Structure 1
């Protein structure tokens, strides 16, 4: 029985998998079990920020693995302490709580906001999120997600959430009453179609939060850790969040989540308010330290530059209607072609990419080169041109 047959027989089918078995990888190149190579513009859905087999990252995780793989949060470990210090120093935040995933990071943010609100007024428990948002797949983070497609079958959901249209300040003002403890936003709605928020709207959100003692939570699970050309995307919107959630790119392939707390909420959670057996795992945090150390100002400037270059190249393709996003997080709207069909044809041609709603989505490792960008764009241009000609004939 081969790998695909075993997977289909024994693993619960919650994913629609492509018919390829990835065996190894190097840099931005994947190799399947048959020796076929693919240029990766998915980064494991925005996770492998430093690509594959990154020398320093591999050394750090292997060295830590040979010393201590896990000990629990009943004790102190150096990699976790160092990573927390780096994140705080780079952001100006006060505390960090390590967990295992983006969904758990958002769960912690929600719990923190509710505790903060309850300490002021027991009725101050509601959290506003945006329509078209995505915050995770646990019951509570699904409750916070503003897309009906994710809400089938799993109700009743956790109470205390309400939704507003992105870029609608009047709705924001109408719903931000005395029962609201937090407003939770993504700087770019990733699973919602790579949709950036209007800076004027985020400024209005920030103002309402300051005036009404409402916490500002920014979900940076996909946009954070250099993906948009700054450590976190909120920096490009001029925001100062009270809570920032992070995961994906921080681990470079190992499971990790991090919740950053600003001064207002740094002391909200106490012993026993949250637990995470694997949170702050020494191997994962040892690797994450390498990720953070790599994201120098020069490196992040290169991410911005490469993102602008990729966007310009894509916009020059006739079939491309629009390119949204920042840095190396881009969504491509097509004039007439199906994003899913293009994604499948790109895979056959040796380029791995993603979709987000009706858009083609590109999330390459941050180390991608301009020559690799040129290769991917040439492939997509060929596919789109051929399909356009076939459609005409």
Structure 2
């Protein structure tokens, strides 16, 4: 493919609806831990599509699976079974506590389905209960219902009137959560690690308390694992680490390793959709399901998750050394979903300087950096990135 010149890039971007501020670069290829822009400049990527690229950029297993499945069947339509759909459903259920899967195209769509299922269950089993308790600073997506469920303050004034029926309480506050339950409450929905809030884990005691509250009040527990699922935290699913007992789990991002697929998983006890209640043109698409199955099988391969834990521990040790040198703050997270407080440094400024230096980072808050590298990250690549980050911090110190 012909590379894009600087002038051409500037001209072509005007055809896009502006929804976010983007730097004046265009990525044209990726390989493992690296992205390359239109000038063939290389960047070590510790964002990986926002925790999406489970195996890094363009891994061979995904390339081969895409080519193989594309030659067989791309889209029979959602009203028919296809082999990759069935095989991926079995793979996910056999390796989780859940019995059934509904495939979607995005995490927001999966969360939307979870909300719809909970409300349908409430109609059938709890006298029409429909309210869902969610948490401050949470993020569940950008559809109208999932924005309504989200606890980001910046979402509050947007697109009013939003969908009603969401009660937001403080994260990790069990007393406030129980106080919010009433006769119309049907579910509690949470991220076990709040990613967009700055990688804030749930307390184990809080999760245990939610399990108890759901049993006591006949509520459904919905685990939004769009960001934490498929090995990101070092287990296949975060609910296993946090000892959560969800009735519904949503997946996305890492499930496809870079292709658009997500899922809602449920136990048979809460399966209550009637025919026609749920659907979608591309749901269960065989091309996406085949690739997803290949990604999940890689994550399930012997030693893969042990490597995630091992590199995570090494990464945290190197971040601790940075903390000592530059007086940074707390390190948070599990597996390869990590964050660090930046102390006196502006996190957005670090992101900009790092990008110029060839390191891609994310700042979910003004005082936090979030690290979401490929799960295939090695200690060597950790050293490379830490060295770049240290040089960036020294440069910013010198500028001050």
User: What is the Cα deviation at residue 151 of structure 1?
Assistant: 2.4
Match of 1:381 in 2: 390
Aligned equivalents of 1:160 and 1:94: distance in 2?
Answer: 28
Corresponding residue to 1:302 among 304, 307, 325 = 307
Q: CA RMSD in A?
A: 1.3
Match of 1:275 in 2: 279
Corresponding residue to 2:349 among 315, 318, 341 = 341
Listed one character per residue, the Cα deviations across residues 207-239 of structure 1 (whole Å, up to 9, x for unaligned) are: 100111100000001111111101111111111
Runs of at least 5 residues in structure 2 that lack an aligned partner in the other structure = none
Aligned equivalents of 1:235 and 1:3: distance in 2?
Answer: 48
Corresponding residue to 1:91 among 86, 89, 96 = 96
Corresponding residue to 1:250 among 242, 255, 258 = 255
Match of 2:131 in 1: 126
Aligned equivalents of 2:8 and 2:83: distance in 1?
Answer: 39
Corresponding residue to 1:263 among 259, 268, 280 = 268
Over 3 Å counting, the alpha-carbon distance change for 1:192 and 1:290 in structure 2 is: same
Aligned residue for 1:313, secondary structure, equals: helix
Listed one character per residue, the Cα deviations across residues 281-308 of structure 1 (whole Å, up to 9, x for unaligned) are: 1111110011110112520111111112
Match of 2:363 in 1: 355
Aligned equivalents of 1:56 and 1:113: distance in 2?
Answer: 36
User: What is the Cα deviation at residue 203 of structure 1?
Assistant: 0.9
Match of 1:326 in 2: 334
User: What is the Cα deviation at residue 352 of structure 1?
Assistant: 0.9
Aligned equivalents of 2:180 and 2:12: distance in 1?
Answer: 46
Aligned equivalents of 1:311 and 1:21: distance in 2?
Answer: 31
Listed one character per residue, the Cα deviations across residues 5-25 of structure 1 (whole Å, up to 9, x for unaligned) are: 234311000021122111111
User: What is the Cα deviation at residue 206 of structure 1?
Assistant: 1.0
Aligned equivalents of 1:149 and 1:224: distance in 2?
Answer: 26
Alignment TM-score, normalising by the size of structure 2: 0.95
Alignment TM-score, normalising by the size of structure 1: 0.97
User: What is the Cα deviation at residue 3 of structure 1?
Assistant: 4.5
Aligned equivalents of 2:81 and 2:172: distance in 1?
Answer: 44
Aligned length: 390
Corresponding residue to 2:289 among 279, 282, 285 = 285
Say whether the 8 Å CA contact 2:111–2:250 is kept in structure 1: yes
Match of 2:380 in 1: 371
Match of 1:47 in 2: 52
Match of 1:8 in 2: 13
Aligned equivalents of 2:107 and 2:351: distance in 1?
Answer: 25
